[in-house]
C-alpha cells in the first residue's frame, strides 16, 4: 500500500507516551497501524500544524503500557516509518541510572550502546549476506546536534553524553548485573533502544535518542521494598514528580526538534550506510528489494 505523505521526521515515544496521547498533549491525524511484512506496526499519528510536521508512534501502546520491551515489534515499527517516507527518527526512553552524577528527571542525549538483549529479531537481513554496518558513531550526529540545540533553545538542562546498556527485560536487573554494567562503563540501563537503533541504520535512516532518567538502578542507592509502588520502591515521590515534569515537556521538545531539523547542517553518513552493497551489485535502489520477506 502506498501512502500519500511526505513527512521525513518521526518520533518514537517511550514510556508514558500513551499518557500524552490520552491527555491530548500530542494531537494529530490517526493513520492507524501500518501493515508490513513483519506484522502490523503500532498506530501512527500524523502531526501537522503551525509548529511543525512529524509522525508519531508510541512504542509500548496507544492507550496504556500494552507491550513490554521484549515484545515490541521493532521491525514492523521501523519498516512502517520507512514506508511512510521517514528519514530521521528521534526516540525517547526512560532508563534507570547507574551513574550517580545524573539526577532523576534529567535528559541525557546518549552516544553509545551496549547490547545485552537476546532472542529479539534484530536485523532485516536474516539469512542473507548483507548487513555488516559500522557502528561508530552509534547515534546520528546530525540528529544529536539538533536535539542539543533544541534543548538549549528551550532552556532545558541535559547531559550530552552517556552509554546506555539495553537489557532483555521485562524483569529489572540484579545488583550484580548493575555492577557488571558499571564495569563496562555504562551510565544508563534500559530495555528499548535495541534493536531500534540497528534496524534504523539498516534502512539508512538517521536515529538518535533522548533519555530521561526515571530511577536509580538496583543497588545504586539503598531503597526499601514497597509493595504496589512503581519499581517496588526504587522510585520515591520526589522521583516520580521529576519524571512527570520531564515527560510533560516532550511534546514541546519534539515540536522544537521538528522545527529545527530542516535547518540542521547534515554531518552524518546515515543515508549511505548500505553503499558498499549497492556498488557491489548486491542490492538496487529500491530498499524494499533489500529485505527478504519472512
Give the per-residue pLDDT at 25: 81
Q: Do 111 and 136 form a contact (C-beta atoms < 8 A)?
A: no
pLDDT, tens digit (0-9, with 9 covering 90-100), for 180-197: 999 999 999 999 999 999
Q: Is 56 left (phi over 0), alpha (psi -120 to 50) or beta?
A: beta
* Residue 118 pLDDT greater than 90, yes or no: yes
Q: Rounded mean pLDDT of 56-78?
A: 94
User: Which of 281, 206, 237 is closest to 105 using CA atoms?
Assistant: 237
* Residue 45 covered by a domain: yes
Q: Is the separation of the CB atoms in 196 and 132 below 8 Å?
A: no
Distance CA 95, CA 104 (A): 10
Do the domain assignments include residue 293? no
pLDDT in the model for residue 27: 83
| φ, ψ dihedrals at 212, nearest 5° | -125, 130
In a domain, 213, yes or no: yes
CATH number of the domain that residue 217 is part of = 3.40.50.1580
Please, are residues 89 and 209 in contact by the beta-carbon 8 Å criterion? no
SS (H, E, C) 80-100: HHHHCCCCEEEEEECCEECCC
Confidence (pLDDT) at 284 = 96
pLDDT value at residue 192: 97
Pairing status of strand 215-216 against strand 9-13? unpaired
Q: What is the count of structural domains for the chain?
A: 1
pLDDT band at 46 (very low <50, low <70, confident <90, very high): very high
* Listed range (39-43, 48-52, 139-143, 157-161) with the worst mean pLDDT: 48-52
Average pLDDT value for residue range 87-106 = 96
User: Vertex 210, ends 85 and 59: CA angle to 5°?
Assistant: 55
pLDDT at 2 exceeding the cut of 60 = no
- Three cell numbers written together for 201: 541504520
Tell me, yes or no, whether 157 lies in a domain. Answer: yes
For residue 72, the model assigns a pLDDT of: 97
Res 48: pLDDT: 85
Of 169 and 51, the structure prediction assigns the larger pLDDT to 169
Residue 154 domain-assigned?
yes
Which residues form the domain of 251? 9-281
Contact status, residue 79 vs residue 32, Cβ threshold 8 Å: no
Q: What's this model's pTM, rounded to 2 decimal places?
A: 0.94
Strand partners, 46: 29, 55
Residue 288 within any structural domain of the chain: no
Pairwise pLDDT comparison (27 vs 161), residue with the higher score: 161
High-pLDDT (> 70) share of the chain, % = 97
**How far is it, in rounded angstroms, from Cα 281 to Cα 74?**
28
**pLDDT digits 0-9 by tens, 205-231:** 999 999 999 999 999 988 777 887 767
Q: Which has the closest alpha carbon to 203: 282, 293, 86?
A: 86
At 3 the pLDDT is 63
Closest to 85 measured CA to CA, from 200, 7, 31: 7
In a domain, 100, yes or no: yes
Task: Report if residue 289 sits inside a domain.
Answer: no
Amino acid at each position: 500500500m502506498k501512502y500519500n505523505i511526505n513527512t521525513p521526521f518521526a518520533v518514537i515515544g517511550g514510556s508514558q507516551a500513551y499518557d500524552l496521547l490520552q491527555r491530548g498533549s500530542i494531537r494529530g491525524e490517526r493513520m492507524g497501524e501500518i501493515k508490513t511484512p513483519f506484522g502490523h506496526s503500532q498506530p501512527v499519528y500524523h502531526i501537522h500544524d503551525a509548529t511543525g510536521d512529524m509522525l508519531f508512534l508510541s512504542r509500548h501502546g496507544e492507550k496504556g503500557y500494552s507491550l513490554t520491551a521484549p515484545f515490541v515489534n521493532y521491525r514492523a515499527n521501523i519498516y512502517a516509518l520507512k514506508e511512510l517516507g521517514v528519514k530521521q527518527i528521534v526516540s525517547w526512553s526512560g532508563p534507570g541510572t547507574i551513574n550517580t552524577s545524573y539526577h532523576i528527571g534529567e535528559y541525557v542525549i546518549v552516544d553509545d550502546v551496549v547490547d545485552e538483549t537476546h532472542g529479539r529479531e534484530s536485523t532485516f537481513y536474516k539469512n542473507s549476506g548483507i548487513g555488516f554496518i559500522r557502528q561508530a558513531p552509534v547515534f546520528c550526529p546530525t540528529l544529536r546536534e539538533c536535539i542539543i540545540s533544541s534543548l538549549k533553545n528551550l532552556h532545558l538542562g541535559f547531559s550530552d553524553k552517556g552509554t546506555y546498556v539495553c537489557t532483555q527485560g521485562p524483569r529489572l536487573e540484579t545488583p550484580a548485573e548493575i555492577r557488571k554494567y558499571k564495569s563496562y562503563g555504562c551510565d544508563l540501563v534500559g530495555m528499548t533502544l535495541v534493536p531500534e537503533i540497528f534496524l534504523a541504520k539498516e534502512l539508512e535512516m538517521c536515529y538518535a535518542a533522548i533519555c530521561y532518567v526515571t530511577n536509580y538502578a538496583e543497588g545504586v542507592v539503598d531503597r526499601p521494598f514497597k509493595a504496589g509502588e512503581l519499581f517496588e520502591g526504587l522510585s520515591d515521590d520526589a522521583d516520580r514528580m521529576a519524571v512527570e515534569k520531564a515527560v510533560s515537556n516532550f511534546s514541546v521538545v519534539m515540536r522544537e526538534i521538528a522545527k529545527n531539523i530542516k535547518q540542521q547542517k547534515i554531518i552524518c553518513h546515515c543515508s549511505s550506510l548500505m553503499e558498499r552493497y549497492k556498488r557491489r551489485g548486491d542490492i538496487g535502489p529500491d530498499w524494499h528489494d533489500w529485505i527478504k520477506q519472512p
